[in-house]
């Protein structure tokens, strides 16, 4: 069966840009992707895009020209950009279109996300009681994981340190300053065991990708990158997810484990072939959990792996080479496409100061979105 190929990518820097709308950032990212692919807006036959706070993605039609382009708006929390990518890939695979755009952009207010429980199938009491805040969940999940698998706070600090360091080497990242161990460990406690600098911060940015079927790729580029697997899963009843007043007593594979297994099956490869991973480090604890959920190591092995530097850019299994969410911040509409962008520039050898010494050939990307959605892609050059 014909794979999907990425023939162009674009990224607007992540950070805070006063006076610039998320839509304008989206325009920049799309322009860069179109240029990278050597195509124009008029060549596109379908588009999928999304944003949390930046408005409707199909407003891009008004910026680029009303060509009658079928433009689907999507939203899946932090998995929004992955949903856009999957929508575009599915349209291509079905033959409904030959050239597709996937785009995401966002601009979040300062501070933690404020959410209305009634928009998420919950009742008012949940917010009134002080439970409608995502930072608590991440803390409770890693708290239990540390208990189950012997992970210590040292690992949390090291992961955050790595991602600030990687971001300091990435001119498009939000955080330009590497933070040292003490600064991260001693920053204010937000939700035990997670301190302020262990968390990512919602911010602003945009990313885009131009896709076609693999059989058409050579028309556009000599260096296509193939999406060997893509998929999105939502939670099962028993899995432990954000904003849930209960957790079933049965323990089951997480939604990320389920999505990853399906992706490896679709790609026909195993985790041992993965040479770089871009994962959802909403906070340091989740990077730790996700790398095991993606099969890159066993549960509990992370402590030693991280201490040995194996997840650094020059390590055996580099993770979040551009700084991840901790280093780039989290504009939910864009993040999954930032991960795709980063994999592409790494594979092409264009990552500059944060380049993996031997450009990787096989990569995995993963995002986790509210209220329990996992999206995984496997890319290969």
Partner 1 sequence: MAEKKQVPIDPELFVWPADNPELLGSKCGECKNVAFPVVKRCPKCSNENLTTVGLKTKGTLWTWTSQMFRPKNLVDNLDPKQFKPFYLGYVELPGEVRVQTRLFVEDSSQLKIGMSMELEIRKLRDESDGTEVMTYGFKPAVA
Binding mask 245-264 for partner 1 (x = CB under 8 A): xxxxx---------------
- Residue 6: strand pairing partners: 211, 225
Q: Read out DSSP for 90-147?
A: HHHHHTS-SEEEEEEEEEPPSSSPP--GGGGT--HHHHHTT---HHHHHHHHHHHHHH
The reply to whether 141 sits near partner 1 by the rule CB under 8 A is yes
Q: Which is nearer to partner 1, 93 or 153 (CB)?
A: 153
Nearer to partner 1 by C-beta: 1 or 110?
Answer: 110
Q: Is 152 in the site for partner 1 (CB under 8 A)?
A: no
Say whether residue 72 binds partner 1 (CB under 8 A).
no
Task: Give the one residue of 41, 131, 149, 226 binding partner 1; rule: CB under 8 A.
Answer: 131
Shortest distance, position 128 Cβ to partner 1, whole Å: 4
CB of 148 vs partner 1, minimal distance in Å: 9
Looking at residues 170 to 199 of the shown chain, list those that interact with partner 1 (rule: CB under 8 A). 188-193
111 binds partner 1 (CB under 8 A): yes
**Ordered DSSP codes for 180-237:** -HHHHHTSPEEETTEEGGGB--B-EEEEEEEEEEHHHHTTT-SS-EEEEEEEEEE--T
Query: Considering the complex, what minimum distance in angstroms separates the CB of residue 313 from partner 1?
Result: 31
> Is there a contact between 103 and 336 (Cβ–Cβ < 8 Å)?
no
Give the per-residue contact string, 29-68, with partner 1 (x = CB under 8 A; - = no).
Answer: ----------------------------------------
Give 330's contacts (C-beta < 8 A, 6+ positions apart).
78, 108, 200, 201, 202, 203, 282
Residue closest to 181 by CA, chosen among 292, 75, 307, 274: 307
Instruction: Please report, as ranges, the residues that interact with partner 1 according to CB under 8 A.
Output: 111-112, 114-116, 123-125, 127-133, 136, 139-141, 143-144, 147, 188-193, 237-238, 244-249
């Amino acid at each position: 069966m014909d794979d999907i190929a990425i023939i162009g990518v674009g990224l607007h820097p992540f950070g805070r840009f006063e006076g610039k709308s998320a839509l304008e950032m989206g325009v920049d990212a799309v322009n860069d992707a179109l240029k990278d692919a050597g195509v124009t807006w008029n060549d596109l036959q379908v588009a999928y895009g999304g944003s949390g706070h930046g408005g409707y993605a199909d407003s891009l039609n008004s910026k680029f020209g009303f060509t009658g382009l079928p433009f689907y708006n999507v939203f899946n929390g932090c998995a929004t950009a992955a949903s856009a990518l999957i929508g575009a890939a599915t349209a291509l695979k079905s033959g409904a279109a030959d050239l597709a755009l996937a785009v995401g952009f966002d601009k979040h207010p300062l501070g933690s996300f404020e959410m209305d429980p009634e928009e998420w199938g919950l009742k008012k009491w949940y917010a009134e009681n002080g439970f409608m805040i995502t930072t608590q969940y991440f803390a409770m999940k890693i708290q239990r994981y540390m208990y189950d698998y012997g992970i210590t706070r040292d690992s949390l600090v090291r992961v955050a340190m790595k991602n600030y360091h990687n971001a300091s080497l990435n001119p498009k990242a939000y955080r330009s300053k590497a933070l040292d161990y003490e600064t991260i460990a001693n920053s204010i406690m937000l939700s035990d065991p997670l301190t302020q600098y262990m968390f990512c911060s919602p911010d602003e940015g945009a990313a885009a990708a131009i896709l076609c079927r693999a059989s058409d790729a050579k028309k556009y580029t000599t260096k296509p990158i193939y999406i060997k697997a893509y998929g999105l899963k939502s939670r099962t009843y028993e899995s432990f997810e954000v904003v849930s007043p209960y957790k079933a007593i049965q323990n089951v594979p997480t939604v990320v484990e389920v999505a990853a297994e399906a992706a490896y099956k679709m790609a026909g490869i195993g985790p041992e072939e993965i040479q770089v991973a871009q994962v959802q480090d909403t906070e340091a604890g989740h990077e730790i959990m996700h790398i095991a959920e993606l099969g890159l190591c066993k549960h509990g092995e992370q402590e030693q792996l991280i201490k040995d530097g194996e997840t650094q850019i020059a390590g055996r299994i580099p993770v979040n080479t551009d700084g991840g969410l901790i280093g780039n911040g989290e504009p939910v509409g864009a993040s999954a496409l930032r991960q795709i962008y980063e994999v592409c520039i790494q594979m092409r050898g264009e990552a500059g100061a944060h380049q993996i010494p031997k450009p990787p050939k096989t990569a995995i990307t993963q995002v986790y979105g509210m209220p329990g959605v996992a999206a995984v892609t496997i890319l290969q050059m």
